[in-house]
Structure 1
């Protein structure tokens, strides 16, 4: 991130009622405008965490992030550039019912409108561009999606400094910090399942996320580097299971195994191969790639891939 720019994040929040698509707009009190929910990144926060937090703070609706729908850039009165990242974010019926929103000094009202009305209501051209990006997903029939998240384990003690078995090699102090830091951005994507290599460094990377979500990680040798080195890891099997399940999931594994995981996702979804798969698999410790797939038709191919790196 540039130190001179102001970063923010938000979302196109949507729901379907009686087969009609609605998006959520906010009416801001101070500016007397109509815009999409968004806000500035707090210190120590990632963009994904910011998007979920700001949507909730401005609308009272808890969401999980879907497909990224672009970013907007514009100049502030201070002449600094503001860069806002947006994701698609579904508002479930339960989340809408649970919203405790009341008009306040920042947000005068929230309004559910059709896409056609949203185009007329929004105050800024940059918001219209984001809405159009979102509507492209709708036109392509990939509104309902789910993520498969490929996570490289956090920084571990080096092999040269460890006398025990490789599978028992622990995280370093930095690795434990990374594991705690990555829990928030992973949670922003609404994960419901955690799958990990049996190696301690992979399982411990998921431990903070498991604690905050209450989800018990499932260990599988199919994500193990030891099994992969011996040609015994059936990556295709676990990817096939995850694609069929259509459930938001994290797969915690090792650097050498990651390219095969990405390749198998592409094969399982009928996606054309390309260098983008190698890029998404080239992860530093505690980094992850989110693979967005169609929930209604996973075989239609990968919708989008986004990679997140740990904060310094």
Structure 2
């Protein structure tokens, strides 16, 4: 992020009503315009967290993020550049029923409209471009998706400073902060299943997430570095099960094992391999890549990959 730009995030919030796709537009009170839900990043917040928070604050609807659908850039009245990241976000029936939205000083009304109507109804060309991006996925048969998140464990005590078994190396103070920092953004993507290498540094990395979600951690040696170094790891078995389940999950593992996990995700989904896999697996400690897969169209392969580095 640059010092001069204003960063924000939001979403194309969608639902299907009687077989018809609808997206959510907001009518803003002060500006008398029609736009997509979005807002500025709060200090210490990641873009993914901002998108979920702002959608909830403006609409009362709690969502999890789907595929990224574009970035808009424009100048504010003060001439500062504003950069807004958008994701698709499914509004479930339960989430809509739970919304406590009432018209207020910021938002005058919410309106569910077809994407086609949104192209002429929205007030700003940058919003129209985001809807056009969203529709390209829809036209390809990709709407409902689920993420498999590949997470590198947080910073651990260095091998040379540890006299016990390598798998027992604990997180450093920095690592503990990194483990806390991933909770918000991983929650934003709706992660529910937590699978981890059985090494202490991996389990400790996802422990705060498990506590926040009220979920247990499934530990496995199949993703461990010890097994990888012994030629006994099996990322294929773990990845295959997660792809078949179609449920949002995080796989926490080690730097040397991550390329195998991404490779197996490509193979399991029939996706052409390329340099993007290397980029997605070259993660710093406490960073993660989100691999988006179609829930209804397995032939789509990997729909999108995005990498996040939520440093504390």
Pairwise TM-score range, normalised by the shorter structure: over 0.9
Q: CA deviation at 1:130?
A: 0.2
Q: CA deviation at 1:197?
A: 0.2
- 1:45 aligns to what? 45
Q: CA deviation at 1:115?
A: 1.1
Q: Would the aligned equivalents of 2:16 and 2:22 in 1 still touch at CA under 8 Å?
A: yes
Q: Distance in 2 between matches of 1:299 and 1:248?
A: 18
Q: Distance in 1 between matches of 2:145 and 2:302?
A: 10
TM-score (norm. length: structure 2):
0.99
Q: CA deviation at 1:311?
A: 2.6
Structure 1 segments (4+ residues) deviating >4 Å? none
Mean alpha-carbon deviation: is it higher for 83-92 or for 294-303?
294-303
- 2:259 aligns to what? 259
Alignment of 1:19-168 (within 5 A): 19-168=19-168
- Number of positions where the alignment pairs a residue of Structure 1 with one of Structure 2: 312
Q: Distance in 1 between matches of 2:305 and 2:117?
A: 30
Q: Distance in 2 between matches of 1:269 and 1:190?
A: 21
Q: Would the aligned equivalents of 1:154 and 1:178 in 2 still touch at CA under 8 Å?
A: yes
Q: CA deviation at 1:221?
A: 1.1
- Tell me the SS of whatever aligns to 2:250: strand
Q: Distance in 1 between matches of 2:196 and 2:212?
A: 17
Q: Distance in 2 between matches of 1:72 and 1:118?
A: 16
Q: Deviations over 1:87-124 (max 9, x none)?
A: 00000000000000000000000010111211121000
Q: Would the aligned equivalents of 1:46 and 1:311 in 2 still touch at CA under 8 Å?
A: no
Q: Distance in 2 between matches of 1:300 and 1:54?
A: 30
- Tell me the SS of whatever aligns to 2:110: strand
Q: Deviations over 1:58-78 (max 9, x none)?
A: 000000000000000000111
Q: Would the aligned equivalents of 1:243 and 1:298 in 2 still touch at CA under 8 Å?
A: no
Q: Distance in 1 between matches of 2:25 and 2:292?
A: 25
Q: Would the aligned equivalents of 1:195 and 1:218 in 2 still touch at CA under 8 Å?
A: yes
Please state if 1:201 is matched with 2:204: no
* RMSD, aligned CA: 0.7
Q: CA deviation at 1:40?
A: 0.1
Q: CA deviation at 1:79?
A: 1.0
- 1:245 aligns to what? 245
Q: CA deviation at 1:231?
A: 1.1
- Tell me the SS of whatever aligns to 2:256: helix
- Tell me the SS of whatever aligns to 1:74: strand
- Tell me the SS of whatever aligns to 2:240: helix
Q: CA deviation at 1:310?
A: 2.4
Q: Distance in 1 between matches of 2:224 and 2:16?
A: 40
Q: Would the aligned equivalents of 2:26 and 2:36 in 1 still touch at CA under 8 Å?
A: yes
Q: Would the aligned equivalents of 1:262 and 1:277 in 2 still touch at CA under 8 Å?
A: yes
TM-score (norm. length: structure 1):
0.99
Q: Distance in 1 between matches of 2:134 and 2:141?
A: 11
Structure 1: stretches of 5+ with no match in the other structure:
none
Q: Would the aligned equivalents of 2:286 and 2:311 in 1 still touch at CA under 8 Å?
A: no
Q: CA deviation at 1:234?
A: 1.2
Please state if 1:287 is matched with 2:290: no
- 1:180 aligns to what? 180
Q: Distance in 2 between matches of 1:42 and 1:218?
A: 33
